[in-house]
């Protein structure tokens, strides 16, 4: 219709994003994408050689994951001194950021129950972000040798992610109601106290 190959390719790619954010990866088929993009599906095969390559292109476009800098913001305005402070801050920012990225949430869901090439690639991108965060933290205050900071971070991040992914379908977990901000507030406080009490080298 528009007779512009690049624009059509772009329309297809943005359609993937919209569809992913709105209805998740379950409905992410060739037909659905073509419909969403207002494009004939044969063009998907012509320009991307099918779904897998299309999704690969989409993944390489990036943008579904924040950078550490983006997460931290302006360091000079952050009220944090110790390693624990920074960890708590980063966790809280991570949580808030993830909440506003439905597409990223869907990708995380996807990783969780499909083990194909693409999700593995997406997982690599994510893990690189995680390692960046750890490096950032280690710059802020070197890790105490008697604590396994990466493992502790993994547990806490995993917890945040799981709670986040849950809230879409079910609003309560272990008696905590996540439909109101109060529930999340409790989690936030819990995370802060966990980090402070666990990471701070009070065993010294």
With CB under 5 to 8 Å by kind, the binding choice for 7 among a copy of itself, DNA, none is DNA
Does 96 interact with a copy of itself (rule: CB under 8 A)?
no
With CB under 5 to 8 Å by kind, the binding choice for 156 among a copy of itself, DNA, none is a copy of itself
Residues that bind DNA (CB under 7 A): 1-5, 7-8, 27, 29-32, 39-43, 45, 50-51
Of 112, 23, 21, the closest CA to residue 64 belongs to 21
DSSP-based three-state secondary structure for 63: coil
With CB under 5 to 8 Å by kind, the binding choice for 151 among DNA, a copy of itself, none is a copy of itself
DSSP string, 27-54: T--HHHHHHHHTS-HHHHHHHHSSHHHH
> Which CA distances in Å does 147 have to 41, 133, 134, 197, 202?
53, 17, 14, 12, 11
Q: Tell me the torsion sign for CA atoms 155, 158, 160, 162.
A: negative
**48 or 89: CB nearest DNA:** 48
Q: Which residues in this chain contact a copy of itself in the complex, by CB under 8 A?
A: 24, 26, 109, 111-115, 119-120, 123, 127, 130-131, 134, 147-148, 150-163, 165-166, 168-170, 172-176, 186-187, 189-191, 193-194, 197-198, 202
């Amino acid at each position: 219709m528009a007779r512009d190959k690049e624009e059509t390719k772009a329309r297809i790619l943005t359609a993937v994003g919209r569809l992913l954010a709105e209805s998740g990866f379950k409905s992410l088929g060739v037909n659905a994408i073509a419909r969403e993009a207002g494009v004939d599906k044969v063009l998907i095969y012509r320009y991307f050689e099918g779904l897998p390559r299309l999704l690969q292109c989409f993944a390489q476009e990036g943008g579904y994951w924040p950078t550490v800098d983006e997460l931290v913001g302006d360091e000079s305005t952050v009220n944090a001194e110790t390693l624990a402070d920074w960890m708590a801050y980063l966790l809280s920012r991570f949580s808030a950021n993830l909440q506003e990225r439905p597409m990223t949430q869907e990708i995380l869901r996807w990783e969780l129950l499909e083990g194909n090439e693409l999700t593995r690639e997406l997982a690599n991108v994510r893990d690189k972000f995680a390692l960046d965060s750890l490096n950032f933290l280690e710059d802020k205050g070197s890790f105490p040798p008697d604590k396994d900071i990466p493992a502790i971070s993994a547990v806490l991040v995993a917890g945040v992610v799981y709670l986040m992914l849950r809230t879409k379908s079910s609003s309560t977990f272990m008696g905590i109601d996540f439909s109101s901000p109060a529930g999340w507030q409790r989690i936030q406080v819990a995370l802060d106290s966990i980090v402070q009490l666990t990471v701070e080298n009070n065993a010294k």
